[in-house]
Chain A
């Protein structure tokens, strides 16, 4: 079966006063129906830009997008703006990072939920409001009918994120893109929201692309993980594989940088690692592996030749000359 979403060699360049910023450089991945893919990376790794590019939400004047984004056998990059509008919020919808600002303060919750329903499903106002109430109920908002006529300022961050999820799922999208959906929330609320997303996904069968820098979130929800660094995908694997046997030194570093319960800070064998250095600037493209300057294992070849993404066992793939934990990988 063809994947639901298939991104091939996606490149996104921004024209800025400081020069051209190469935010995404040749990223490819597939998302199958009903699957949850996590895109992981630090700030500036291009993960959010990739998700914005799928819905073509990047400013057209200053952005060059090339490559291919196929969704249900349609090339999204070739669609007209009108056709694209029919997809946004309908077949593909998006949840944003900031629930506090992603709702319009002067409109009621109800009218904001009803908007997409009236637009895409052709519902009348009354039907749309009724369906909106159902959706609020579904995402666990108490007294949903009364909340419909409330303004956003009366809701907490967690409640607003529930409203955002209700809005995103109202038109039963086949793909949900969630850009850091829990970053702005308290830890206890994060777990609730992730649990909600998981149960709704099970119910609607929507595929989910979750963009995050939080490996805890990944472990919680993802089937498969794509790790991005400096605008490139450097590793992809199933979530269990990735956590058990990371191949790329950057992924290993990320995992070591994640504090775990049960380890003592006084344990001499364990320290919370950090990765030295910073993500390279998107304005200057360097030769060789983008991670080489920060990599403990980097050798001359890393600084000269950029490693290609190569498949390893079980759908695991990585872009590294000297991968960790890899069996049968061809060392250069």
Chain B
């Protein structure tokens, strides 16, 4: 602090009044990370959905004469060792990755929510349920998924199931933690004092408090599920190699990566970009939904 320097408190912006008046949508749109992340996810989703119109070439059509071609107008990303068009394979691969990611995020959120609510509210079940969740979490996710795939065999449904099993405990722990902290709040006691039943309190007072953390967690689950799916496909323990997925394309490219590195890099680029975008959305939502920032006005 220099001599004679006068400390003047900066004028406090009237954040809360402002926040209160704005609609939720406006608040979301004002958040750069969410907007950028959501835009990227949206573009990739549109590309996946519109794949048949964006490329006329069947991603599984083999054309031996067109093997390992470089980028051209007909094949923007070139072709692989069987002459399949990489651009359409990457587009159709996005369908699988996004579908798997979103379905797993939804499934593990719902299952994790139910398990977490039950464990957090009915303490008698807590010990058993949460030790089971701990046991699942103590096994590295990728190993657990590989083990499940080894038993059940490769198919998309099994991949979704395998990764859901990996992700559910994380959601369940989060929900249980939230329930445990919320159930000690004065407003839960007040609800008991006003004659509400346990189930009503659980569903109408505690459940709404878990939604924000679950939405945030769901974005991370989605990103991690997409990565895990790619890894499973890459090592051949995931979706059958006949179906183009980003992991499968990379697996095909592994043996010829010195010859055609783009077969690894392009799907990897899309995968990284998608995961980055989803994480951006998740981080943004976390900032936005954080009760310490939204509440206590």
Across-interface contacts of B1 in A (CB, < 8 A): none
Shortest Cβ distance from A177 into B: residue = B193
**Assembly CA distance A116 to B200 (angstroms):** 11
Which of A90, A102, A106, A107 has the largest count of B CB atoms less than 10 A from its CB? A106
Partner pick for A86 among B20, B195, B291, CB 8 A cutoff:
B195
Q: Mark contacts of A63-101 with chain B using CB atoms, 8 A cut-off: 1 yes-contact digit, 0 otherwise.
A: 000000000000000000000011111100110101001
* Residues A89 and B194 in contact, CB atoms below 8 Å apart: yes
**Assembly CA distance A319 to B294 (angstroms):** 52
Which of A96, A104, A112 has the largest count of B CB atoms less than 10 A from its CB? A104
Across-interface contacts of A167 in B (CB, < 8 A): 190, 194
* Residues A115 and B191 in contact, CB atoms below 8 Å apart: yes
**Assembly CA distance A299 to B237 (angstroms):** 86
Cβ of B192 < 8 Å from any Cβ of A?
Answer: yes
* Residues A57 and B193 in contact, CB atoms below 8 Å apart: yes
* Residues B208 and A85 in contact, CB atoms below 8 Å apart: no
Q: Chain B's nearest CB lies how many Å from the CB of A14?
A: 16
Stretch at the interface among B78-86, B89-97, B139-147, B181-189: B181-189
Within 8 A of A (CB), among B186-230: 186-197, 200, 204-205, 208-209, 211-212
Q: Chain A's nearest CB lies how many Å from the CB of B124?
A: 11
* Residues B205 and A101 in contact, CB atoms below 8 Å apart: no
Cβ of A13 < 8 Å from any Cβ of B?
Answer: no
Partner pick for A94 among B185, B190, B196, B294, CB 8 A cutoff:
B190
**Assembly CA distance A151 to B297 (angstroms):** 10
* Residues B205 and A104 in contact, CB atoms below 8 Å apart: yes
**Assembly CA distance A128 to B233 (angstroms):** 55
* Contact A106 to B208, CB < 8 A, known contacts A57-B189, A101-B187, A153-B295: yes
**Assembly CA distance A94 to B196 (angstroms):** 13
* Contact A87 to B195, CB < 8 A, known contacts A106-B209, A154-B20: yes
Cβ of B296 < 8 Å from any Cβ of A?
Answer: yes
Across-interface contacts of B296 in A (CB, < 8 A): 153
* Residues B195 and A98 in contact, CB atoms below 8 Å apart: no
Partner pick for B196 among A93, A107, A119, CB 8 A cutoff:
A119
Partner pick for A120 among B20, B195, B212, CB 8 A cutoff:
B195
* Residues A96 and B195 in contact, CB atoms below 8 Å apart: no
Across-interface contacts of B189 in A (CB, < 8 A): 57, 96, 102
Cβ of A103 < 8 Å from any Cβ of B?
Answer: yes
Across-interface contacts of B192 in A (CB, < 8 A): 57, 88
* Residues A119 and B195 in contact, CB atoms below 8 Å apart: yes
* Residues A153 and B193 in contact, CB atoms below 8 Å apart: no
Cβ of A239 < 8 Å from any Cβ of B?
Answer: no
Across-interface contacts of A27 in B (CB, < 8 A): none
Cβ of A55 < 8 Å from any Cβ of B?
Answer: yes
Cβ of A259 < 8 Å from any Cβ of B?
Answer: no
* Contact A88 to B193, CB < 8 A, known contacts A101-B185, A105-B291: yes
Across-interface contacts of A116 in B (CB, < 8 A): 194-196
**Assembly CA distance A82 to B127 (angstroms):** 27
**Assembly CA distance A119 to B204 (angstroms):** 13
* Residues A98 and B186 in contact, CB atoms below 8 Å apart: yes
Shortest Cβ distance from B296 into A: residue = A153
**Assembly CA distance A119 to B195 (angstroms):** 8
* Contact A107 to B208, CB < 8 A, known contacts A101-B186, A101-B187: yes
Partner pick for B297 among A85, A94, A154, CB 8 A cutoff:
A154
* Residues B205 and A90 in contact, CB atoms below 8 Å apart: no
**Assembly CA distance A86 to B197 (angstroms):** 10
* Residues B186 and A102 in contact, CB atoms below 8 Å apart: yes
**Assembly CA distance A236 to B291 (angstroms):** 45
Across-interface contacts of A98 in B (CB, < 8 A): 186
**Assembly CA distance A116 to B16 (angstroms):** 30
Across-interface contacts of A105 in B (CB, < 8 A): 187, 209, 291, 295
Q: Mark contacts of B14-40 with chain A using CB atoms, 8 A cut-off: 1 yes-contact digit, 0 otherwise.
A: 001000100000000000000000000
**Assembly CA distance A168 to B196 (angstroms):** 13
Across-interface contacts of A168 in B (CB, < 8 A): 194
Across-interface contacts of B194 in A (CB, < 8 A): 88-89, 93-94, 115-116, 119, 167-168
**Assembly CA distance A120 to B197 (angstroms):** 12
**Assembly CA distance A164 to B186 (angstroms):** 12
* Residues A115 and B193 in contact, CB atoms below 8 Å apart: no
Across-interface contacts of B297 in A (CB, < 8 A): 153-154
Q: Chain B's nearest CB lies how many Å from the CB of A95?
A: 9
Q: Chain A's nearest CB lies how many Å from the CB of B159?
A: 35
Partner pick for A93 among B193, B208, B291, CB 8 A cutoff:
B193
* Residues B204 and A115 in contact, CB atoms below 8 Å apart: yes
Shortest Cβ distance from A117 into B: residue = B194
Q: Chain A's nearest CB lies how many Å from the CB of B227?
A: 32
Across-interface contacts of A153 in B (CB, < 8 A): 294-297
Within 8 A of A (CB), among B250-297: 291, 294-297
Across-interface contacts of B196 in A (CB, < 8 A): 85, 89, 115-116, 119
A sample of 17 more A-B contacts (CB under 8 A), given A94-B193, A115-B204, A116-B195, is A87-B195, A88-B192, A94-B194, A96-B189, A102-B190, A103-B187, A104-B205, A106-B211, A107-B204, A115-B191, A115-B200, A116-B196, A120-B195, A152-B295, A153-B295, A153-B297, A167-B190
Point out residues on B near A: beta carbons under 8 Å.
16, 20, 185-197, 200, 204-205, 208-209, 211-212, 291, 294-297
Pairs across A and B, CB under 8 Å, 10 listed: A57-B189, A89-B196, A94-B190, A94-B193, A96-B186, A101-B186, A115-B194, A152-B295, A153-B295, A153-B297
Q: Top 7 nearest A-B pairs by Cβ distance?
A: A89-B194, A88-B195, A89-B195, A153-B295, A101-B186, A102-B186, A104-B187
Point out residues on A near B: beta carbons under 8 Å.
55, 57, 85-90, 93-94, 96, 98, 101-107, 111-112, 115-116, 119-120, 151-154, 164, 167-168
